[in-house]
Amino acid sequence: MRILGISAHYHDSAAALLVDGVPVAAVQEERLSRRKNDAAFPLAAIEWCLERGGLEPDELDAVVFYEKPMLKFDRILTTLLRAFPHSCRAFAQAMKNTVGEKIWVKGIIASRLGVPARKILFTQHHQAHAAAAFFTAPTRQAAILTADGVGEWATLTVGRGQRPADGPCRLELLREVRFPHSLGMLYSTFTAYLGFPVNEGEYKVMGLASYGKPVYAAEVRRLVPRTADGAFSLALEYFEFHTTARRSYSSRFLELFGPARDPLDPIDLDTAEGRRFADVAASVQLVLEELLIDLARALRRELDLPDLCLGGGVALNGCANARLLAESGFERLFVPPAPGDAGCALGAALVADRLHFGNPDRQLPDHPFWGPEVATADLARLADEDGLACHQVEEGALVDEVVEALASGAVVGWMEGAGELGPRALGHRSLLAAPHDAQMRDRLNLRIKRREEFRPFAPAVPAELADRYFQLPPGGVRLGRFMSGVFPVRPEWRPRLQAVTHVDGTARVQTVDATMAPRFHALLHAYGRRSGIPVLLNTSFNLAGEPIVSRAVEGYSTFRRSDMDLLVVGNALVRKARARTVERREAAE
């Protein structure tokens, strides 16, 4: 059976193709269109998935959209009418945004793909999140918790999934919290207040939180009072996201926390104002963690299952995930590589396959590499056009050469195989560097990633050696598989891991599994033999404001436009002659 899943129209559109219950291809539209967080209907992603599967649209058994547009429209309309006339301007904007292609999804799919309407299915948004988390995890039954900004009405759900070896799969969402009460919206409101772009800047809030103290935790708790059933609500007088598109927090919010940060002002942590923003970030982070832990503990008691699958954009919060693993009572915590809306394309296809059509369960490959492949020949051609030498190197020699470059301070673009689904580069579209000195972090932040200095870089370590360098709780290696948890760096290693140790002594570690990414795993071991520490700095291969590179042409273009020294595509390698000049210039300075 051939099922195409689609997520679109909010942020991070994506498509995924499932053939006989197993993913064949999945990719975010941004990786092909080159527009970051592209929310358009993902025609390029769909086309690529079909091409990869060798299918024409009429060979599909079903096309599944990741949410119910009419239900979402109902939520938007109801919310705006409740706030009318205050919502007058937002109303006009929302109508413009919603009425039109977003609501007539069935028509778009039918007309653009030529698929008959009877083959077009819809899942609920959080059902797609839950399926993406549960059906991809190596567990037969688990509790499920999903949390994001909002889908149709639900913003958080708890439930249970079962994949028996000899019977039909089940996925039950037992309860939900409904819009406007939303942990995702709570965090996004603080993201906006702190001057970062919503849906993108949430990482920055988490990074900034490490510099602060949660001195405003009591104030944040006033914003999210607990409800009698153990869940939470938002005290709506502090918010405006549900009534206006202008801003998400109210004047009363500002009375509690002080003036919002102007996005154009840099955050100076040496000033009282800068520290106030860090303290506010630390406070919302703490309260989010408290809420999630309480919800998860209650679910653990209720369902008495040892495993928890976590989905939705909130599951990208690695600090909260680590605390959930350590404190919720669950023995194992599974977070998929794409817990956000992009992963819903795959989730929606899985809902259709396992639940709608009742197809038998299949154990899915436990990796995120479902995107377009890189071609070594493309790099050779591009380099040749530029007059740069492109060396095709035998595997062992390639690893040796890259290790030598890394050990001497080079920044290496590392591309191999199929690209990652989800926001994290996990060794197929990565920028790699030595993790030892703080100067490397500053160089990457200033010259390549061009981002705020308070944002940390992640380390990658062979899974079997992770515990030596990082304090991982039981289950931590699994959580680190897709870089989903933030854990302390062991104090004795912090001086040698400065570029990947955050100000609070933690790191968002990737525990690299030999079967999932064998070349990257081998590279880490080889680097360990050379430097004494098998850890590399691993950050996504992209420049600020651009999506992660997908094909060799984007990798090469990024290599040429930034302060990188070496580019590896498969077994081909290009070196920038400029690297030595830069070093000499630095030495002279």
Cα(92)–Cα(89) distance, rounded to whole angstroms?
Answer: 5
202 binds Fe ion (CB under 5 A): no
Q: Which stretch binds Fe ion (CB under 5 A): 338-346, 522-530, 531-539, 553-561?
A: 338-346
Taking residues 286 to 325 in sequence order and writing x for each that binds Fe ion by CB under 5 A, - otherwise, the string is ----------------------------------------
Please state the closest distance from residue 339 (CB atom) to Fe ion, in A. Answer: 9
Contact pick of 202, 289, 341, 565 for Fe ion (by CB under 5 A): 341
- Nearest-approach distance from CB 289 to Fe ion, in angstroms: 20
* Window of 339-347, 401-409, 465-473, 510-518 that interacts with Fe ion by CB under 5 A: 339-347
User: Nearest distance from residue 128's CB to Fe ion, in Å?
Assistant: 8
CB of 313 to Fe ion, least distance (A): 6
Which C-beta is closer to Fe ion: that of 177 or that of 399? 177
Q: Which is nearer to Fe ion, 17 or 345 (CB)?
A: 345
Q: Which is nearer to Fe ion, 176 or 341 (CB)?
A: 341
Per DSSP, the residues of 316-384 read G-HHHHHHHHHHSS-SEEE--S--STTHHHHHHHHIIIIIIS-PPP-PPPSS-EEEEEP-HHHHHHHHH
- Of 424, 561, 417, the closest CA to residue 482 belongs to 424
Query: By CB under 5 A, which span of 73-81, 162-170, 255-263, 336-344 interacts with Fe ion?
Result: 336-344
> Minimal distance in Å, beta carbon 416 to Fe ion?
30
The stretch among 59-67, 73-81, 145-153, 432-440 that binds Fe ion (CB under 5 A) is: 145-153
Stretch that binds Fe ion, among 25-33, 147-155, 292-300, 353-361 (CB under 5 A): 147-155
The answer to whether 148 contacts Fe ion (rule: CB under 5 A) is yes
Cis peptide bond upstream of 180, omega within 30: yes
Sheet of 412-415, strand order: 390-392, 572-575, 566-569, 412-415, 429-433, 536-540, 458-462, 510-512
Helix residue ranges per DSSP H, 39-182: 43-53, 69-83, 88-98, 105-113, 125-134
| Closest CB 148 distance from Fe ion, rounded Å | 4
- What lies within 8 Å, CB to CB, of 193 at 6+ separation is 248, 249, 253, 257, 260, 261, 280
6 vs 463, beta carbon nearer Fe ion: 6
Name the residue nearer to Fe ion (CB basis): 148 or 279.
148
Location of structure tokens 């990482």: 203
| Closest residue by beta carbon to Fe ion | 148
- In this structure, are strands 412-415 and 566-569 parallel, antiparallel, or unpaired? parallel
What would the 3-class secondary structure string for 243-303 be? CCCCCCECHHHHHHHCCCCCCCCCCCCCCHHHHHHHHHHHHHHHHHHHHHHHHHHHHHHHH
> Closest approach of Cβ 79 to Fe ion, in Å?
17
How many residues contact Fe ion, by CB under 5 A?
2
Task: Give the C-alpha separation, 466 to 460, whole Å.
Answer: 9
- Contact window for Fe ion (CB under 5 A) among 141-149, 303-311, 361-369, 520-528: 141-149
d(CA 541, CA 558): 8
Q: For binding to Fe ion (CB under 5 A), which residues are involved?
A: 148, 341
